[in-house]
Chain A
Amino acid sequence: MAAVPMTHVLMVAAAIFGLGLVGVLVRRNIIFVLMSIEVMLNAAGLAFVAAGARWQQADGQVMFLFILAMAAAEVAVGLTLVLQIHRRFGTVDADAMSRLRG
């Protein structure tokens, strides 16, 4: 069975992570920001799975499971915050929440 080189998988993961990062930095809509964070988590999970496959151990996959659980919790809280923000400020613009300005 042919195999994918480790380096390539990690590069794909890095590329997807980079896209997620761009998303976080560029979007003002909080929903897009949350989506971008999901992308980044997913990319990190990909790297874990690759490492698990490289060493033929289940540990990498276990890590992905934890990431999954974490992402679920984070999305639940994050989306409730989006709802709350929308209710309070009438917008989903992340830049509108700037009361902490120094």
Chain B
Amino acid sequence: MLGLLWLVPAVPFAGALVLILAGARLRRTGVAVVGAGSVGVSAIIAALIAIRFVTLPPAEGFFTQRLWTWIRVGGFAPEIALRLDALSLVMVLVVTGVGFLIHLYSTAFMEGDDGYSRFFAYMNLFVGMMLVLLLADDLLLLYLGWEGVGLCSYLLIGFWYRDPVNANAGRKAFIVTRVGDTAMAVGLFLLVTRLGTLDIQGLMQRAVDQWAIGSPLAVAVAALLLAGAVGKSAQLPLQTWLPDAMAGPTPVSALIHAATMVTAGVYLIARTHVLFTLAPSVQLAVAIIGAATLLLAGCSALTQHDIKRVLAYSTISQIGYMFLALGVGAWSAAIFHFMTHAFFKALLFLAAGVVIARMDDEHDMFKMGGLRHDLPVAFWTFLAGAASLAALPLVTAGFYSKDLILVETWSSVLGGPWLWIAGLVGAFLTSIYAFRMVFLTFFGTLQKPPTGRSGWRLHVPLIILAILAVVGGFVELPATLGDRPYFSDFLHAALPAVVNDAARAGAIARLQIVAGLVSIAGIYVAWALFLRHRSLLARLTRPRPARQLHHFWAAGWGFDWLYNVVLVQPFLWFVDVDRRDAIDRVYDGIAWSARAGWRALSATETGRVRTYATGLTLGAIVITAIVIFL
């Protein structure tokens, strides 16, 4: 059974290939069957493999499938090899499972679109690349998947490329993540030259053997990998691309820019956690970046009008939590939050997609309202997702994962009260903006009735994801609530457990109560400000500083403005100044001489046979002369 592992990424690739080659000739049903079916088959195989892996775990705790040697240059021989362990298994299950649900949703959601087969070709390619990224046993292969998902992200953000805004958003995402990718590539070069391999397990072994904790090389490599992760996962300071990435179709936002691709950075850091353990300063930076990002993005999410942009900032913020967890060494907590986040955030996006589609492509929440009776399925599932996002205590998956992060942030030797407070404030902001969405969209007065109808293919994924968003957390019950940490135990085969500071480890129950109260308080504030006392909100935002702060947050803390002033404008200025430099002169000269030569030669083309004959004669004379005199 485990030998079928290669099929998991191969089937979506085959689907993409079929759609690229024959997509134009297939009917819509055919496209849908191939597009969603390939991911579905992949999910089933992944599930079977998972059952086999859990019931009969391999002796070493992981399974490696070597397919072939990719390149062999000198001593450097990266292999196309897949590695299945607890970490990649969880990720693969989430990607294929959630991916299949989103594909199923897309078959109905994209029904009327011209690029139906193109859409599914990109989506299948994305799933295949994502699986390569997750299953790679070699950092080079991982990098291939890394860039592959970046490409698919670019293609799908700019899916409706006829609108320049969408194309620009795609380009922005590509270029901004490229900054991180370049740093990551440099990190990989450094690893190859210093340790001589990119095979992950061998690499970790050699790193531990050769580098002391805190040695400059380990710090440099970890920092460079972190830069790659930051770019891909839209963390500070490379987070600016993700809100604009919402220009893509909603299922794309759900799959790529919420559930899977943007968490690749989290996966990378978890995968190479040994390197980060060797570089404590960088690991601290991971935690600080996570904490700062979750606060900044939470504030920005509070001020957005576009429902998808709220979700985008919320995604940035939630990945911030995962980074925070990684930073304090709570590896499995980060992966746990990744899983629950994939459920509820995909759910929120898909439900928002239904709302947007039924409201005639209206994104502004302030122009919606009162939709809970007209769109019951969307409402209830969205409510479940929002509750999970807001970490409503006890009943939602988000509570268990976020709580685990907060508790371990508090208790870890690498964490502490300050990071915990940041996480707590973030949780407060999260529950405010989550229920701000719910109240603005589904409660209040009905502003505009929805049109059209949505079929079972839209609703079934919503319902399944809603169930997962509620019960998905029960795989990990904290010590105070039953003490059944199945998920952590499973992952500990691949990831070490958090190291707790004995002095802070005792207060778990109190922390949980505080976190739960904060979540409920946030929901209350949202209810008060956005439903019950709208006038209070108006009074709150009337003073000039408040309005300015609102604008500042709505613009994402001015990062776009900052990058425009610091990077883009100087670059454009330099390009403009440098237009006529010496090197250009050379190429201009080549072009000029080509043109001059063309003029001279075309002047010889008189169109007269006699001229040509004269030319022939001259040639004969010259050649005879050469024969005679040389």
Which A residues have a C-beta under 8 Å from some C-beta of B? 21, 24-26, 28, 33, 94-95, 97-102
Contacts and interface: CB of A to CB of B under 8 A. Distances in A.
Contact of B614 (A25, A95, A102): A25
A101 B614 CA distance: 16
Given A21-B617, A94-B608, A102-B602, 17 more contacts: A25-B610, A25-B613, A25-B617, A26-B610, A28-B610, A33-B609, A94-B609, A94-B610, A95-B610, A97-B609, A98-B608, A100-B605, A100-B607, A101-B605, A101-B606, A101-B607, A102-B601
A45 B609 CA distance: 24
B249 to A, nearest CB: 53
B502 interface: no
Interface residues of B, number: 13
B604 interface: yes
Q: Which 8 A-B pairs have the closest CB atoms?
A: A102-B605, A98-B607, A102-B602, A101-B607, A100-B607, A94-B609, A95-B608, A24-B613
Interface string B611-622: 001100100000
- Interface centre among A28, A97, A99, A101, by most B CB within 10 Å? A101
A101 B607 CA distance: 4
A33 B609 CA distance: 10
Contact of A98 (B604, B606, B614, B617): B606
Contact of B607 (A25, A28, A33, A99): A99
A22 B350 CA distance: 87
Nearest to A33: B609
Contacts of A28: 610
A102 B617 contact: no
A26 B610 CA distance: 7
B583 interface: no
B73 interface: no
B572 interface: no
Nearest to A21: B617
Contacts of B606: 98, 101-102
Contacts of A97: 607, 609
Interface string B587-630: 00000000000000111111111100110010000000000000
Contacts of B605: 100-102
Contacts of B604: 102
A98 B605 CA distance: 9
A60 B542 CA distance: 111
Given A21-B617, A25-B617, A102 B603 contact: yes
8 contacts: A25-B610, A25-B613, A25-B614, A33-B609, A94-B610, A95-B608, A95-B609, A97-B607
Contacts of B602: 102
A24 B603 CA distance: 22
